[in-house]
Structure 1
Amino acid sequence: MRIGIDVGGTNTDAVLMDGDRVCAHTKIATTEDVTTGIAEALKTLLSGTQYEPSAIQGVMIGTTHFINAIVEGNRLAPTAAIRLGLPATAALPPMSSWPERLVRAIDGRAYMCHGGHEIDGRRIAPMSCDELARVAEEIAAQGVRSIAISSVYSPVNEECEREAAEILKELLPGASLSLSHEIGRMGLLERENATIINACLSELADHICRGLAEAVSGAGIDAPLFLSQNDGTLMDVDYARRYPVATFASGPTNSMRGAAFLSGLRDCAVVDVGGTTTDVGMLRNGFPHEASTEVSVSGIRTNFRMPDVLSIGIGGGSCIRSEPFGVGPDSVGYRLTEKALVFGGDTLTCTDIAVAAGIADIGDRSLVRHLDRSFIDAVLQRISEDMTNVVDRVRTSSEPIAVVAVGGGSILVPESLPGVGEVRRPEFFATANAIGAAIAQVGGEVDRMYSIQPGQRDAVLDEAKQEAVDKAVSAGASRSSVQIVDVDEVPLAYLPGNATRIRVKAVGDLVLAR
């Protein structure tokens, strides 16, 4: 048996699953510190069942802790960014494009040193141990403990980053090091940005992981703890401490994986309506379609693994305005039960509209009887139009597609979207995100440049696939269950040596002790 938990901006959802069967589920308001809400969700979930905590074999959590810290610009560690690339790349130092408020929030310090590689693997310049020693001395004097190391073309050749890391480990014992080739993809500035974000979250990651473990153990559960990743797979707590940035999009990803599980569809559009936003994405072979370009995180361009999801500010807590007429994007969030009219509050929300329209039965309906029917219909029409537009933007064909609506706010989605297709709302749709966390698998991915010689293509692909399978197994997957779910092969004609970028993703079922 396993427990899945997903923390949203408005609600924290939890489910207890025995194999593919949902045994219990709950939804409570997200607390300001998030961890308290998780502890309360566990308590509520287990108190309503006959199952003992000792029966739980694993707890899977999708959390907003880390993305919230970046968006809010607080609880971030002072961070130094070291780029290996001189005499090249001097025009744009690290963090050049960052919002000033976030540079201040991490007390960001940038250092540029010699090193790095060309696209064909040749060194740009030799690394200098003395240069790194001077940088380390200054970092130590400033009391900085989190360091991001990036090197030009490190996804092709990571030698410089690894050499620099070994030197800095000796000079700065106890410092947290993030290496860009382990986090981002091709594209120096975006990969470097992702690495700096990861580094500034290192101290918070240690604190949060301890807090989550205490919340689980406090519920009497003695079982492994896993966190959801951006690609729909799981990582253990130690991995999460090293790569907190991998959790940023776990919320919509969990919902999409849950939608695939509940609907039985592996290729469809998913509309996930929460309390604050509606997230829309495409499922391909049961997993979210990944963004192929850089993704902006709080105004910072990055290129690590993220699902291709579009969000609009419509949810159960979205505020409704009559003059001028509008729906969202502002929301009462987790204060819905205090602010919405049906709960005795003073703010008109989408939840009030749903109750007044007769599509939801929560709170006190008499408190919204004064709403004019034409106004209610106008709000529902605007919601339908906005959701249709965003589904149109994510789909890749003009042909009708299946649409799966999940999330507690999905009662706002009409039975069909004009020009798109019929909407399915599966059983347990309100807690699809927690179900997605509970049923998540573990994965392994290879994404790098290969030089493919004539007649060697199949051998190189087989090598990449085997490496992806081995990574999934080392992450905890049962080897017999591992499957290759995605293969991308992009020849790069402008590079020498028949260069080809190959990306392979493998996933398998998590092995849990019984």
Structure 2
Amino acid sequence: MTEQMQQRRIRVGIDVGGTFTHAVALDVATFELISTVKVPTTHTDKRGVAGGIVESIFKLLEEGSINPSEIVLIAHSTTQATNALLEGDVAMVGIVGMGAGLGKGRARAQTRVGNIELAPGRFLHTLHEFLDTSAGLTDARIAGVVDSLVSRGAQVIVASEAFSVEKDAHEKMVAAHCRERQIPVTSGCEISQLYGLRARTRTAVINASMMPKMLETANMTEQSVREAGITAPLMIMRSDGGIMDIEQMRRRPILTMLSGPAAGVAAALMYARITDGIMLEVGGTSTDISAIRNGKSLVKSATVGGHRLYVRTLDVRTLGVAGGSLPRTNGANVVDTGPRSAHIANVHYSAFNTPATSPVKASHFCPKEGDPSDYIRLDADGREPFSVTPTCASNLLGLVPAGDTAEGNLESVQQAFAALAQFMGRNDPKAVATDMLDKGTRNVVQVVRHMIEDYELDDQLLTLTGGGGGAAAIVPFAAQKMGLPCEITKNAAVISAIGVALALVRDTIEKTVISPTEHDVLSIRKDAEEAVLRMGATPDSIEVQIEIDAQKNILRATATGTTELRTRELGKAHLEETELTERVRQTIRGVTGEVTPVARVGGLTVFHAETQRKRLGGLMRSTVSQYRVIDPEGIIRLQIRQGDCLPGTKSEVIGGMKEFFDKHTIYGDAGREFPDLFVIFRGRILDMSGLMNIDQINSLIQVELSTVGNDEPIAAILKTY
């Protein structure tokens, strides 16, 4: 082999946390970790968090013996946007509002958004000027209002005009004027194509307020990476679970608002390959909880200060309980577990201590000023203070898998819980540990149940998946309480950095469209595809999902793609059909008959099985057809608990689509209720569940399957209700 043929292709993922920055180097061909490093997050460095990012890259190169030419992509998450909002560390924004004719009075009022509360007592301050555009704009008029705003303290400008989603020329004129003068600027039409001038302006203002600091960090990071001889694309984690190039981040830093928690979800999708489940990323102090359905993360509109923004973020719910949470007790009762953690309280985990050689004594203490004084602390001669945590409790109860990051010294844990039980006047240390975990996971279970309800998830298909160093401390016990299966991801401690490394290039375009036509659907699909192409996605890797929100008149296209051809499948062993069948059987609860393949499409196999559904307390039963789509490696790609499948050639399936669709369409008081549709072709799954009629479906199928021959096998699967 030549040296070129042997050269590795490596993705680098960097997760910037509040305390530590984790980095991983991942082989694109095998998904195997080449190297992992951890450095302190450099909040006080003159380069900001960019200092830690750059340090982690250099350590990876050294420890992994990596040549810069082997790196094909570097991506990092960031807490900077979130921290800026929480701490009020944002720039003053000058707003150039614009409007014309009879609507200019309303435009003036709606672009004057005032000071926006970011957190209690912390505000984003704005200034406002207005231009009447009835007779057009001149550069002199633009210069006048920009000069006024800058002289009053504005550090960045927002251009926002009524109806700019249709006519954006004036906003672009203001933006061009500012860029020529090297004044940071955002225009409303750059941020959103949705109607709603006030919300569009507010979103642009928050985006603009982050720009100076984010630009500084982006420039420092890029400069350092290039000086290291790395020419690979530099990407930033988005808050919707994708990545974007650094140029997009310079224009739309608001899209990184929740990029830290998003990294764990990206790992759940791309590394753990979860199809339907709840992801719990457990650290030492907090747990981030998110949901995945049909192999996609669930997103919502972001809010700041109680105001809705035109930005989509992952629905991540954070709780103040994790692997290092400390217990609170009152007499023989465990009052609560957390929110104060061992790390913040400056005490050690008993699980990570060696056994004490002198008696261990428990007592109450107040970790920080203002905390309750009933937290538990343990002492032994010659030892720094330590305590018990959910990590310790899970070790005592045998819930931590062998070799897991959370695995500790069992003898030390037994000593600690014996001392705590004695302090509480109880005889059974394991019962105390159980009470600790019961209190600690109480809110976790509640949030998981709320997410199942909010998104109408099918708990018969769900798995609780744990990531983060503290996953084994929380997830197994919570799963037991809920009667759900669970798993801890491989390399859980660095799962977020892995997620950053593997995340797909992503962009979402939203437009306000009433009753979208076929042309509207195809047009927005093309726009989304071109957006990720510009960021470096390879054409063959791009997938676009279309959603129609009929209630809000929103047409949405989300495009994803990767920056290089992935060859992971070439290096992985394919399972035999008997093994695939057994893997599918394990995912279907209560299967009553055979599990049989009904279609084979480009490496994917569609399996069918029947189960019984009980109603009225078991008095009535009905047969349900379940479907699973599985890939050659045994990864479940789609789960349908009740549905129907139409396999055949492309021409056969498209020809029978209308009849197949109509057969399962329900007519109710609110009109037609359309079943969710998935089309399987060439190893891909096209999710068409967001479309509303057969004409839209047929138009999109023609585009997506344009290169598929009429005699090639495909399959359509409907999720019925």
Looking at structure 2, the residues matched to 512 and 218 of structure 1 have their Cα atoms a distance apart, in angstroms, of 27
Q: Which residue of 1 aligns with 2:85?
A: 70
C-alpha contact (below 8 Å) 1:282/1:288 kept by paired residues:
yes
C-alpha contact (below 8 Å) 1:272/1:407 kept by paired residues:
yes
503-512 vs 65-74, greater mean Cα deviation: 503-512
Q: Deviations over 1:184-237 (max 9, x none)?
A: 444433332221122122111122113323554576645332111122222222
- Label 1:483 to 1:265 Cα distance change in 2 as closer, same or farther (>3 A): same
Looking at structure 2, the residues matched to 177 and 56 of structure 1 have their Cα atoms a distance apart, in angstroms, of 33
> After superposition, where does 1:77-476 map in structure 2 within 5 Å?
77-85=91-99, 86-89=104-107, 94-96=112-114, 98-99=116-117, 106-114=124-132, 129=138, 132-169=142-179, 173-184=181-192, 185-213=194-222, 216=225, 221-291=230-300, 294-297=301-304, 301-322=308-329, 325-331=335-341, 338-342=346-350, 344-345=384-385, 349-351=389-391, 353-354=393-394, 359=400, 360-362=406-408, 365=412, 368-369=416-417, 370-372=419-421, 373=429, 374-395=431-452, 396-397=456-457, 399-400=459-460, 401-411=462-472, 412-414=474-476, 416-419=479-482, 421-450=484-513, 457-476=517-536
Partner amino acid, structure 2, of 1:320: P
36-45 vs 10-19, greater mean Cα deviation: 36-45
Partner amino acid, structure 1, of 2:445: T
345-354 vs 249-258, greater mean Cα deviation: 345-354
Looking at structure 2, the residues matched to 67 and 309 of structure 1 have their Cα atoms a distance apart, in angstroms, of 13
Return the match for 2:547 from 488, 491, 506: 488
Structure of greater Rg: 2
Q: 1:61 Cα shift?
A: 0.5
Q: 1:349 Cα shift?
A: 4.9
Q: 1:418 Cα shift?
A: 3.6
Q: Deviations over 1:431-482 (max 9, x none)?
A: 22111111122134331134668xxx22332222222212221211111111
Q: Deviations over 1:168-191 (max 9, x none)?
A: 556xx1111111222244443333
- Label 1:446 to 1:316 Cα distance change in 2 as closer, same or farther (>3 A): same
Partner amino acid, structure 2, of 1:22: E
Partner amino acid, structure 1, of 2:312: R
C-alpha contact (below 8 Å) 2:119/2:305 kept by paired residues:
no
Looking at structure 1, the residues matched to 118 and 97 of structure 2 have their Cα atoms a distance apart, in angstroms, of 20
Q: CA RMSD in A?
A: 3.4
Looking at structure 2, the residues matched to 80 and 102 of structure 1 have their Cα atoms a distance apart, in angstroms, of 23
- Label 1:102 to 1:311 Cα distance change in 2 as closer, same or farther (>3 A): closer
Structure 1, unmatched stretches of 5+, are 116-124, 494-499
> RCO (CA 8 Å, sep 6+): is it higher in 1 or 2?
1
- Label 1:357 to 1:151 Cα distance change in 2 as closer, same or farther (>3 A): farther
Percent identity (aligned):
25
C-alpha contact (below 8 Å) 2:94/2:154 kept by paired residues:
yes
Q: 1:60 Cα shift?
A: 1.0
User: How many residues are treated as equivalent by the alignment?
Assistant: 487
C-alpha contact (below 8 Å) 1:487/1:503 kept by paired residues:
yes
Return the match for 2:32 from 22, 38, 50: 22
C-alpha contact (below 8 Å) 2:85/2:118 kept by paired residues:
no
- Label 1:21 to 1:104 Cα distance change in 2 as closer, same or farther (>3 A): closer
Q: Secondary structure at the match of 1:66?
A: helix
TM-score, normalised by the number of residues in structure 2: 0.61
C-alpha contact (below 8 Å) 1:156/1:449 kept by paired residues:
no
Looking at structure 1, the residues matched to 253 and 387 of structure 2 have their Cα atoms a distance apart, in angstroms, of 36
C-alpha contact (below 8 Å) 2:178/2:184 kept by paired residues:
no
Looking at structure 2, the residues matched to 398 and 100 of structure 1 have their Cα atoms a distance apart, in angstroms, of 36
Partner amino acid, structure 2, of 1:361: E
Looking at structure 1, the residues matched to 279 and 441 of structure 2 have their Cα atoms a distance apart, in angstroms, of 15
Q: 1:422 Cα shift?
A: 0.9
Higher strand fraction (1 or 2): 2
Looking at structure 2, the residues matched to 286 and 383 of structure 1 have their Cα atoms a distance apart, in angstroms, of 29
C-alpha contact (below 8 Å) 2:114/2:125 kept by paired residues:
no
Q: 1:282 Cα shift?
A: 1.9
Q: 1:297 Cα shift?
A: 3.4
